[in-house]
Structure 1
Amino acid sequence: MAQAAEGEKPREEEEHEEEVMHACEYKTGKGMEGKAVLVVGSGNSGMEIAYDLAEAGAATSIIVRSEGLFGCYQKFANDICDVSPCDQGDLERGDDAIQIHTPAYPVVDVGTYAKIKTGEIQVLPAMKTVDGNVVEFADGKRHPFDAIVFATGYRSTTKKWLKSDDGLIGEDGMARRSYPEHWKGENGLYCAGMVRRGLYGSCEDAESIAEDISKKKKKPDQA
């Protein structure tokens, strides 16, 4: 079962809806040429949107509140304004451990990293307040923007459209049961990637589901 999702709006966005958009509403950077655009969030959505905006000629900035994990083992250094490459040995844990133990999804770099290094995309610290089109950041600096795109995550809408799940899905739209008993429900209902175990967890769930379906399809004399 693939889960639907809707944009999760932070408090700042709810107060200024006429001036901002969520990543789920973003279509293209066309028409943004020469405009100052702030992307809030540095996950896959935020990084790809920032790249698209920069390609379209927008004066693009992106907020990075925590260290990013790149598929090519590139990451932001502890100094938020300094970006440097690293290899697997620089990571606190190996790639496999990160995939298994963290709910964060590694960022697959589509070219954003290079644009940050050249200055085409500016990296800014956490947002503190929004006053109209002026944003104040954690370092006390204030900058005006023509548009703000919140790539701040999604919330599951599964409970809104799934009429009966036999206890498979919790009220938060994620798996009700904990790992590793979370993926299988009744009457052929399954869920994958819904216990916040990252890409590795989603892959593991898919393999378990495929194996279970395969067993059910076997004829009695093949069992």
Structure 2
Amino acid sequence: MDTIVIGGGQSGLAAARSLRNAGLTPVILEAGERPTGSWAHYYDSLTLFSPARYSSMPDLPFPGDGDHYPHRDEVVDYLHRYADSLDVEIRTATRVSAVESDGAGAFLIHTEAGDTLRTAGVVAASGSFGNPHVPDLPGRGSFTGQLLHVADYRSPKHYAGQRVIVVGAGNSAVQVAYELAEGATVTLATRQPIQFMPQMIGGKDAHYWHTTTGFDSLPPQWLACIATGTLVMDTGDYAAALQAGRMDRRPMFTRFDGEHVIWSDGTPEQVDAVIFATGYRPDLDYLRTLGALDASGLPLQVGGLSTTHLGLSYVGLEFQRSFASNTLRGVHHDAAHIAAPMATYASGALAAYGL
């Protein structure tokens, strides 16, 4: 095989499209039963913050009214149709366990089913949903309530009448806390105050401005100078709910103690459940034995191209090359960026230089 793409979600599909357009014949290996990535596993009420017109991938417009905000299941169906529209081989229910060098400039892909595939190039596009981050707070093992990451949260019906803390200051944390507050007593625990950004600016959705002003394409180095923290897209409901006391926000608690959390002022409080909406890390453990990751498990790369192995690249990393890198509307730009060098390597063109 000239190229194997690991992951069949939005990033893997975008990568396969760009590789095919560059003259390669990519094969996608997807761990799930459908080539839709992690979308089907998000919580039931998940709705995109970007309207349909700003949630499309190349060659297939998102269906329906361009101004509506698609539900999780709409995205799943869209990605399935997108996969069907690509002229590439997709092997589902194929989880990669390890990637190794074959010692001759190619790679050996080992699957959990026991198969080994040889390929000239590898695109790691497995996203981050499979690697949720939960901070290791003191006393966590002693907590007798329910403790979970938002990756395992589905709906508020199981928490009616309970005391719930949602840890995090991002979109998922606020959206989940808001819906939980319908029937539970909810606190958002954050290290910094929540920074809201209005969904509508000048009568247009914020994504109109992201795409027309060029903000979407700003490099991460510039974004680090602009954004001092996580921004939460406010539909007009979330900030108002905090101000009205539907849910509250407190500084992060310091530790767990049995059935209690200990707040920063030393006050203990009995809590039924703590939901961590504390983000994800790239799900790339299969590259660890290859030596392509740093000590914390992050890929050693620049702009999606590996700095440790020729023929290895990445698509779908957060802020890989821009603000929109790991979004439906923007991931194809990063996929196109890695396609040409991947094609050069897979074609054997570097052999003329003794490589």
Q: TM-score, normalised by structure 2?
A: 0.45
Local SS of the residue matching 2:255: strand
Alignment match, 1:49: 176
Does residue 63 (structure 1) correspond to residue 189 (structure 2)? The answer is yes
From 306, 317, 320, give the equivalent of 1:193.
Answer: 317
Does residue 3 (structure 1) correspond to residue 3 (structure 2)? The answer is no
Alignment match, 1:23: 150
Is this contact kept in 2: 1:72–1:108, CA < 8 A? yes
1:141, 1:127 → 2: CA distance?
9
Alignment match, 2:232: 107
1:167-186 alignment, distance < 5 Å: 167=292, 169-177=293-301, 181-185=302-306, 186=310
Is this contact kept in 1: 2:170–2:277, CA < 8 A? yes
1:65, 1:43 → 2: CA distance?
12
1:11-160 alignment, distance < 5 Å: 11-12=137-138, 14-16=140-142, 18-19=144-145, 20-55=147-182, 57-72=183-198, 100-101=223-224, 102=227, 104-109=229-234, 111-159=237-285
Is this contact kept in 1: 2:139–2:255, CA < 8 A? no
RMSD after superposition? 3.7
Give the CA deviation at 1:65: 1.2
* Total equivalences in the alignment: 192
Alignment match, 1:210: 336
| 2:303 partner amino acid | H
| 2:162 partner amino acid | K
**Gap change, CA 1:18 and 1:153, over 3 Å in 2:** farther
2:243, 2:144 → 1: CA distance?
32
Is this contact kept in 2: 1:104–1:198, CA < 8 A? no
Give the CA deviation at 1:137: 1.0
Give the CA deviation at 1:116: 0.8
2:323, 2:153 → 1: CA distance?
24
**Gap change, CA 1:63 and 1:172, over 3 Å in 2:** same
Give the CA deviation at 1:29: 0.8
1:206, 1:213 → 2: CA distance?
10
Alignment match, 1:86: none
> Could you list the runs of 5+ residues in structure 1 that have no partner in the other structure?
74-93, 217-223
Local SS of the residue matching 1:61: strand
Alignment match, 1:79: none
| 2:133 partner amino acid | E
Is this contact kept in 1: 2:196–2:239, CA < 8 A? no
Local SS of the residue matching 2:275: strand
Give the CA deviation at 1:8: 2.2
Q: TM-score, normalised by structure 1?
A: 0.67
| 2:155 partner amino acid | T
| 1:100 partner amino acid | L
Which deviates the most, 6-15 or 118-127?
6-15
Give the CA deviation at 1:195: 5.9
Give the CA deviation at 1:164: 8.1
**Gap change, CA 1:23 and 1:212, over 3 Å in 2:** closer
Local SS of the residue matching 2:254: strand
Give the CA deviation at 1:132: 1.9
Which deviates the most, 112-121 or 97-106?
97-106
Which deviates the most, 1-10 or 58-67?
1-10
